[in-house]
């Protein structure tokens, strides 16, 4: 059964997180607990800094992780699986995606893939943190509500508050936010420890 794509923010190392003052709702916590127990098969296309951060956190929560890389036999690729632990392995992107319930695009310039494409805002820097007083947030968009919930649950399970931003066409609004973060962090010299915060009254 085809699984539509969902997107979350940008796609680069140490990208922005959008903080929220409120803690995850009881429903979010319950869904995160269910997701942890579900132990999904997750393919991560790319085994760089961000991909490995995602893989390690989800592997720690019982999910099966397979990295899709160009050269599975390369020492660097094997090192990624070893560093992740928990039975993680490497394969080609096609092989990794073939048996996955979720496909994560964890590298720059990645095209569409079957499953939910989870991109990231500050995952490596802010995963599981409160950014002092605010939880880091993943903005999710997609045309399939079920796929959006899976992406949101995966984000919630590793410490984020996920916000459904609407249909997949909204992805074009999320990308400029990512580019602004890059500009502030790298061009303006503010560093990768910054984050946007979405405030609620």
Torsion, Cα of 49, 154, 193, 177 (10° steps): 100
Please give the Cα distance from 131 to 92 (Å, whole number): 35
For 197, the enclosing helix (H) or strand (E) is: strand 196-198
Tell me what the mean pLDDT of segment 166-186 comes to.
88
Tens digits of residue pLDDT in 17-63: 332 233 445 665 665 555 556 789 999 999 988 789 889 999 999 99
**Separation between Cα atoms, residue 160 and residue 139, nearest integer Å:** 10
pTM: 0.68
* List of domains in the chain: 6-198 (3.40.50.720)
Q: How far apart are CA 164 and CA 149, in angstroms?
A: 8
pLDDT value of residue 108? 54
The model's pLDDT over 128-159, given as tens digits with 9 standing for 90+, comes to: 434 344 567 788 889 998 888 888 889 888 87
Looking at the DSSP bridge assignments, the partners of residue 140 are 164
Q: Identify the CA nearest to 65 among candidates 84, 92, 37.
A: 84
Residue 122 or residue 162, greater confidence: 162
What contacts 158, CB < 8 A, 6 or more positions away? 54, 57, 58, 61, 127, 128
Rounded (to 5) percent helix, strand, coil in the chain: 40, 20, 40
Q: So what's the pLDDT on residue 130?
A: 40
Which region, left, alpha or beta, applies to residue 63 given φ > 0 means left and ψ of -120 to 50 means alpha? Answer: beta
What totals of helices (H) and strands (E) does the chain contain, helices first? 7, 9
Residue 34: helix, strand or coil by DSSP? helix
If one compares 125 and 43, the residue with the highest pLDDT of the two is: 43
Per-residue model confidence (pLDDT) at position 113: 32
Can you tell me the distance from the alpha carbon of 163 to that of 171, in angstroms, rounded to the nearest whole number? 13
For the chain, give the mean pLDDT.
Answer: 75
């Amino acid at each position: 059964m085809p699984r539509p794509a969902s997107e979350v923010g940008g796609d680069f190392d140490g990208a922005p997180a959008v903080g929220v003052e409120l803690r995850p709702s009881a429903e979010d916590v319950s869904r995160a607990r269910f997701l942890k127990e579900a132990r999904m098969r997750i393919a991560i296309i790319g085994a760089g800094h961000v991909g490995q951060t995602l893989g390690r956190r989800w592997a720690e929560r019982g999910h099966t992780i397979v990295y899709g890389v160009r050269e599975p036999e390369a020492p660097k690729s094997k090192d990624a699986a070893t560093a992740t632990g928990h039975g993680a392995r490497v394969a080609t992107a096609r092989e990794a995606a073939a048996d996955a319930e979720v496909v994560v695009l964890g590298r720059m310039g990645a095209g569409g893939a079957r499953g939910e494409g989870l991109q990231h805002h500050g995952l490596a820097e802010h995963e599981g943190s409160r950014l002092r007083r605010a939880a880091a947030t993943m903005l999710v968009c997609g045309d399939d509500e079920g796929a959006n919930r899976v992406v949101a649950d995966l984000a919630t399970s590793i410490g984020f508050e996920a916000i459904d931003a609407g249909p997949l066409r909204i992805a074009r609004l999320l990308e400029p936010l990512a580019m602004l973060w890059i500009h502030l962090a790298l061009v303006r010299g503010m560093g990768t420890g910054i984050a946007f915060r979405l405030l609620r009254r």
